[in-house]
Structure formats: C-alpha cells, structure tokens
Amino acid sequence: IQRMLSGASAPFNVQVTDIKKIGTDANIRYRVHLSDGTTSVQCMLLAALNSLVASGQIAENCIIEVKNYKVSELKGRQIVILLACSVLSAPGTKLGNPQPAGAASSSSSGAAAAPRKEAAAAVAARAPVVRATPVVELSPYANRWTIKVRVTKKADVRHFTNARGEGKLFSVELIDESSSEIRATFFGSAVDKFYELIHEQGVYYMSGGVVKPANRKYTSIDNSWEITFGDRTEVSVAADAGAIQRVKFNFTKLHQLPDLPAGRVVDVLGMVKEEGDVVEITTKRGDKLAKRDLTIVDESNTSVQLTLWGDHARSVPGAKDHAIAVKGVKIGDFGGVSLSTTMSATVQLDPSSDIVTRLQGWWASNKDSLAVTSLTTGGGGGA
C-alpha cells in the first residue's frame, strides 16, 4: 500500500477488506478498502469494473492483482482510483490487522494538504518493518523466523488417513530474494485458514513453521530442509517489488539421469525431437487422465521419453523443434529411463534465458545429422 501511495509501478497483490456501494442506480460506484495486511487505503473502482463486484468476483477478503491505478487527493486524504485489476483468489480470512494509511492533515482554517510525497513518507515512517530471514539461514535450530517469499507452485488439497485419524494438507514451493528455494506443507487448520488466501506468484511473509529434513521424493528443490506449517503459522501479503524471481530451474543433464535413483524428482531442459498425440487413459483408480509422450534431446546427444500428464499434456501443442523446460519430473525405470510430470510440475516452452538460446542454436545446427543415445527403450512413465 505504501508503494502504491508513492506512485510505484503496478502490479500489486492486495486484499479487499470492505466494499460499499455509493451513488444512485443510474450512477453506481463502489468504494473499497485495500490492504496488504499492515496498511489499508480507500479505493474507488472505475465504473467499468462494477461488473466484477456485481457478479461476486470481487468480494470482501478476496485477493486481487492491481494492474493499473492512479492516486488522487480528496479533502486532504489520498484516494486510490483502481483502473484495472484481476481476481486472484476467492474470499477467505482477513489478513493481519491493517491500519488506515491516514491523511495529510489540514488546519481548521483550511490550509492546503501536504504534497503526496510528504504524506507517503509520513505514513511509511509509521509502518512496521518486518525483518525477513533468508531462506538459506533456515534450519531446525533457527527460532522465531519470518521469511518473505514468492509462491512459485501451489498444489491441490490432499486428504489422508493415518493412525491418528483423517487429515488434510497442501504443499507450496517458495523462493526468496536471494533465489533460495524451499518446499513447505500446510496441515490441518492451516489448510482451512490459508489455502484460499495463498496463490501462485503471490509474495508473502510466513512465520510459525517447523523446519525439518527434506524428503527429496516429492521435489526437485535443492534444499536439505523443508517447512511444516500448522496451528501457529501466520501468513500475510507482502509488497511485490519484482525483486523475487518467478521460477527457478535446477537442470539435470539428460546423460546424468541413469546415475540417479528411480523416483527422484528433477528439472530438465531439452529440445522436442518427437511428439505424440494427446490420448486419454484410465488410471488404476478408474480416473480418466490425458497423456502425451514427447522425446526430448539435449547437448549431451542423449534423448529420453518425457510423459506429460493431465493439463500439462495439452499445455504445449506443436512442441516439436521447440525447447521445453520442466520443473518437477519424476525419473522412472520402466523400459530404461523415462520421465513423467508430477502434480506440481511447471512446464514452459521456449523460456527466455541464455541457456535456452544456446540449446536452440545447437539444435538448429545439428538436428539433421545428430547421433543420439536413447535412454528409453520402451514403455514410459506410469500414472
């Protein structure tokens, strides 16, 4: 909120904490309060956005992305005019205890309001400062930490049964400003409290978790630790200045795959040498699931079959001769070595980076005369 009031460039992720309809039926406008969990500010919606409120998409305690806005002065108070936005998550629990951003004071004699920069500076001076612990410093021996992280991946809620009864969980992958990653899992009441509030690519302060050794079976993240969040967890929206990257890959070269155990989750990058059609299969549980097989190859002159499951199977049409980067594929050992996407996988076609540009150049120069060693002799990744 402070950055908005100072005129910083969008986008911003904020929570709508109050909505009030003003005006007549012929000229309805909506006034809302926006919050970042610490500070709140009044905002007027552009009339073109009224339909988002009328349809219930914008509702109290939902999270929105502010895409365009302007700040105006009204009776000595800064008012945000919301010009464009999108809804990121449905209504949930109110985050934090936000305090009004306040107004530039004016005297009883009607003195002019202070300039915007001075007002914003005064408000910023009153805002609490959160010291974020770098993810790399987390360990089971670290106490009372708070991390500021971007959620790069959010999985669906899963239900389970064990000796203590039934439970539920969801997992997220997090990255901080120094590009350190960690996996975290929310359990029990933390699922009810935070699942609808947390969304992919949002930036948050998180605290009150337990750090424990990581289970590499479920993630390709290169971190010895992971976090469990529960009853004592606190999560609040943090300002997104764009300093935290949106996805980080830790690529494994294809020729290294045979040296890794089956079941290991890794990230891979390759050129699509062959692509199959999307087919629908029936899993052992009786579910219908989309499947698509690709053959990818990299500069080690090694190829492997990559199976895309579910939505990923339809996410990259016409992939042949394009670079594909996948975060979170599981190594299989049926029919040699094969790869298959996990539920939390991220798939990108022709991502922008130097390493991808080099791979594309190598492929363009060598694809017609390439002698390739295939790691997959048959079959593929199973559902």
157 or 380: which leads in pLDDT: 157
For residues 277 and 292, the answer to whether their CB atoms sit within 8 Å is yes
> What distance in Å separates the CA atoms of residue 217 and residue 284, rounded to the nearest whole number?
21
- Any idea which fold 135-237 has? OB fold (Dihydrolipoamide Acetyltransferase, E2P) (2.40.50)
> What distance in Å separates the CA atoms of residue 326 and residue 195, rounded to the nearest whole number?
25
Share of the chain above pLDDT 70, in %: 89
> How many other CB atoms are there within 10 angstroms of residue 210's CB atom?
12
Q: Specify the amino acid at residue 156.
A: D
Per-residue pLDDT, averaged over 336-345, amounts to: 92
Closest CA to 206 of 153, 142, 147, 139: 147
pTM (2 d.p.): 0.60
Tokens of 321: 């001769």
Beta strands in the chain (DSSP E): 12-22, 29-35, 39-45, 63-74, 77-89, 99-100, 146-154, 158-162, 165-175, 181-187, 203-213, 225-237, 265-275, 279-282, 288-297, 302-309, 323-332, 338-349, 373-374
Q: Give the pLDDT score at 259.
A: 95
Rounded to a whole number of angstroms, the CA Rg of the chain reads 25
Query: Can you give the residue ranges of every domain in the chain?
Result: 2-126, 135-237, 254-374
Q: Give the pLDDT score at 292.
A: 95
Per-residue pLDDT, averaged over 56-74, amounts to: 85
- Residue count of the chain, please give it: 383
Phi, psi of 108 (to 5 degrees): -65, -20
332 or 73: which leads in pLDDT: 332
The C-alpha angle with vertex 102 and arms to 101 and 108, in degrees rounded to 5, equals 170
Task: Please list, residue by residue across 263-286, b when 16 or more beta carbons sit within 10 angstroms of its beta carbon and e when fewer do.
Answer: eebbbbbbbbbebeeeeeeeeeee
Superfamily for the 254-374 domain: Nucleic acid-binding proteins (2.40.50.140)
> What distance in Å separates the CA atoms of residue 82 and residue 41, rounded to the nearest whole number?
12
Per-residue pLDDT, averaged over 92-102, amounts to: 80
Predicted confidence band of residue 25 (pLDDT cuts 50, 70, 90):
low
> How many other CB atoms are there within 10 angstroms of residue 155's CB atom?
15
Q: Which residues pair with 33 in a beta bridge?
A: 18, 42
Q: Give the pLDDT score at 243.
A: 86
Superfamily for the 2-126 domain: Nucleic acid-binding proteins (2.40.50.140)
Q: Which range in 3-17, 45-59, 86-100, 171-185 is most confidently predicted, on average pLDDT?
A: 171-185
> What distance in Å separates the CA atoms of residue 339 and residue 294, rounded to the nearest whole number?
10
Q: Specify the amino acid at residue 189.
A: S
Task: Please list, residue by residue across 117-130, b when 16 or more beta carbons sit within 10 angstroms of its beta carbon and e when fewer do.
Answer: eebbeebbeeeeee
Answer yes or no: same fold for 2-126 and 135-237: yes
Q: Which segments of the chain does DSSP mark as H helices, in order?
A: 2-5, 50-54, 116-126, 189-194, 354-366
Closest CA to 97 of 19, 31, 17: 17
Per-residue pLDDT, averaged over 210-219, amounts to: 87
Q: Does the pLDDT value for residue 109 go beyond 70? A: no
Per-residue pLDDT, averaged over 192-200, amounts to: 92
Q: Max Cα separation, the chain? A: 86
Average pLDDT of the chain to the nearest whole number: 86
